[in-house]
């Protein structure tokens, strides 16, 4: 089954999906194996692998560990063209629609497209929107683009609708990894009520109650990165599972 269809099915069956972002710079093979053996089964729907800038981490190694330890899809979440790897199941083909930087809207995609075809990775076209989060984030800096003001849900909704009309399959509302403030519920609600395609929300979601707020506002896929980089938080996985997969828990 295509990863996109699998994610759609997950949303239908479970209410929403839980995606865990593994930034290769922020883990080690030992820590990753330990995390994956920490009773995550049935809690995590897919892994995202990537980062705004990877300096020392080994993406290939991260993908191979996840593949060996689990059977859930590995989806590339590339911060740049050099994060395209053949062993992944799919790639979020991110177009930075909140910005007006042509390279991030189409330029990088032209360079990546032949590689994606050659490696036979499933591209999932995603309208990626950076939302102001209280401080300057790596995502903003690295993409050289301005975020959408957090108090302007109507701008976010119009942008998302344009992406849907262009033919994108997902909208990703991104506050930035480790964001001070996550994407406001009001904005998620406004975007979700405007578009028919699933809305992914990530950045600064620190606990299950944050996740619940996003789901109640209409988010269909929740991305958690930083929270699980801290071993002390691994025990929250079950609670995340309960709030995200609310349909299977009814
Ligand atoms: C970042 O949305 C992801 O691109 C995850 O953010 O690391 O803050 O959970 P966090």
Where residue 156 sits, what CATH number does that domain have?
Answer: 3.20.20.390
Residue 184 lies in a domain: yes
Length of the chain: 250
Candidates 21, 50, 51, 173: which one to mutate for ligand 1, based on the most atoms within 8 Å of Cβ? 21
Domain region containing 83: 3-244
249 within a domain of the structure (yes/no)? no
Indicate whether 85 belongs to any domain. yes
HEC letters along the chain: CCHHHHHHHHHHHHCCEEEEEECHHHCCHHHHHHHHCCCCCCCCCEEEECCCCCCCCCHHHHHHHHHHHCCCCEEECCCCHHHCCCCCCEEEEEEECCCCCHHHHHHHHHHHHHHHHHHCCEEEEEEEEEECCCCCCHHHHHHCCCCECCCCHHHHHHHHHHHHHHCCCEEEEECCCCCCCCCCHHHHHHHHHHCCCCEEEECCCCCHHHHHHHHHHCCCEEEECHHHHCHHHHHHHHHHHHHHCCCCCC
In a domain, 179, yes or no: yes
pLDDT tens sequence for the chain (250 residues): 999 999 999 999 999 999 999 999 999 999 999 999 987 778 999 999 998 888 999 999 999 999 999 999 999 999 999 899 999 999 999 999 999 999 999 999 999 999 999 999 999 999 999 999 999 998 899 999 999 999 999 999 999 999 999 999 999 999 999 999 999 999 999 999 999 999 999 999 999 999 999 999 999 999 999 999 999 999 999 999 999 999 986 6
Q: What's the distance, CA 5 to chain centroid?
A: 16
pLDDT at position 39, please?
73
Q: CA–CA separation, 214 vs 206, rounded Å? A: 12
pLDDT at 32: 96
> Among 225, 230, 240, which is best to mutate for testing ligand 1, by the most ligand atoms less than 8 A from CB?
225
Question: 185-194 and 153-166 helices cross at what angle (nearest 10)?
Answer: 30
In a domain, residue 250? The reply is: no
Determine, yes or no, domain membership for 44: yes
pLDDT for res 201: 98
Instruction: Indicate whether 135 belongs to any domain.
Output: yes
**Per-residue model confidence (pLDDT) at position 119:** 97
Question: What is the model's pTM?
Answer: 0.97
Number of domains in the chain: 1
> Which numbered atom of ligand 1 lies nearest the CA of 179?
8
Q: Which two tokens stand for residue 93?
A: 């083909």
């Amino acid at each position: 089954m295509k990863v996109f269809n699998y994610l759609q099915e997950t949303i239908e069956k479970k209410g929403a999906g839980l995606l865990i972002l593994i930034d290769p710079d922020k883990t080690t093979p030992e820590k990753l194996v330990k995390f994956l053996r920490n009773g995550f089964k049935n809690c995590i729907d897919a892994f995202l692998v990537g980062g705004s800038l990877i300096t020392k981490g080994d993406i290939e190694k991260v993908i191979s560990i996840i593949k060996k330890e689990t059977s859930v899809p590995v989806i590339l979440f590339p911060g740049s063209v050099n994060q395209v790897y053949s062993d992944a199941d799919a790639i979020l083909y991110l177009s930075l629609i909140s910005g007006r930087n042509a390279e991030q809207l189409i330029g990088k995609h032209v360079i990546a497209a032949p590689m994606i075809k050659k490696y036979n990775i499933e591209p999932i076209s995603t309208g990626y929107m950076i939302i102001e989060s209280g401080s300057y984030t790596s995502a903003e800096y690295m993409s050289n683009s301005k975020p959408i003001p957090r108090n302007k849900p109507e701008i976010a909704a119009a942008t998302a609708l344009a992406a849907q009309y262009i033919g994108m399959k997902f909208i990703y509302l991104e506050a930035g990894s480790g964001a001070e403030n996550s994407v406001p519920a009001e904005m998620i609600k406004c975007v979700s009520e405007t578009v028919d395609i699933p809305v992914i929300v990530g950045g600064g979601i620190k606990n299950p109650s944050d996740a619940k707020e996003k789901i109640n506002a209409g988010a269909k896929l929740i991305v958690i990165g930083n929270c699980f980089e801290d071993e002390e938080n691994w025990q929250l996985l079950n609670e995340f599972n309960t709030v995200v997969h609310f349909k299977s828990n009814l």
